[in-house]
Amino acid sequence: MERKTLLTESTDAKGLIAKITNICYKHQLNIIHNNEFVDNTNQRFFMRTELEGYFNDETFLADIDSALPDDSCRDLISSGRKRIVIMVTKEAHCLGDILMKAFSGALDVEIAAVVGNYDVLESLTEKFDIPYHTVSHEGLSREAHEEKIIEIVNSYSPDYVVLAKYMRVLTESFVAAFPSKIINIHHSFLPAFIGAKPYQQAYDRGVKIIGATAHFVTNDLDEGPIIHQQVIPVDHNFSAKDLAHAGRDVEKSVLSKALAQVLDDRVFVNGNRTVIL
């Protein structure tokens, strides 16, 4: 007996839920949980179906394909722990939160390795018996630096790459190497305060809330599909430094929650938006 998750996306059409669930019944698969959503603006259908039973993937997916519109996408994902590689610079709070949650089982993930452009977080990482790779950017072009990182990341065959306060802008080549597989935490409630020093920007603007945003990385800086966001109240007593300090707790919470949703195969990318089922 296995558990797998069927992810389905297609042009919306009448009877899709019935067609898919009838095929599951035909293959004697038990539906543990099912959720669906229709983007009426773009006429796109999304469905996430948790299944249990004895699978013949080839024949099951062939039947699913025969029932769906021609432009459909579907994936049958086995249950099990996914692998990530984390990229960092110098700040420890997001990395430390993921390490602790993975260690305690609060986050069901295998951290294959951590890669940093400084060695500042090496000792923290190695306390959890996880390999740490320092790839200094000094004296290298951005492209040459990223080529070294890509080689290391690929050696671990991760399902996702997580930017836990990695403070360098990625090139188009790097993003293309891991399409819809790079998750970033931005220390701002996007789309406000894009780019560098968002807490200083927030202070200068006199905001009454600050927040953080976890999103998939695209070639548009800090504008990729948003996975999770959260805010906390602040007031005129907060300096820019106070805002940054308060924001760290929000950042690590948002990143870990977004990562949990992605690892559980709940996130569909729908253009520059996400659908989370």
Mind telling me the catalytic residues? Answer: 222
Closest to 160 in 3D by CA, of 220, 213, 93, 107:
107
Q: Is residue 111 within a helix (H) or strand (E), and if so which, with residue range?
A: strand 109-116
Query: Tokens representing 74?
Result: 């579907």
Closest to 42 in 3D by CA, of 268, 261, 277:
268
Closest to 251 in 3D by CA, of 207, 196, 211, 197:
211
Query: Tokens representing 71?
Result: 């432009």
Give the Cα separation of 109 and 112 in Å (integer).
Answer: 9
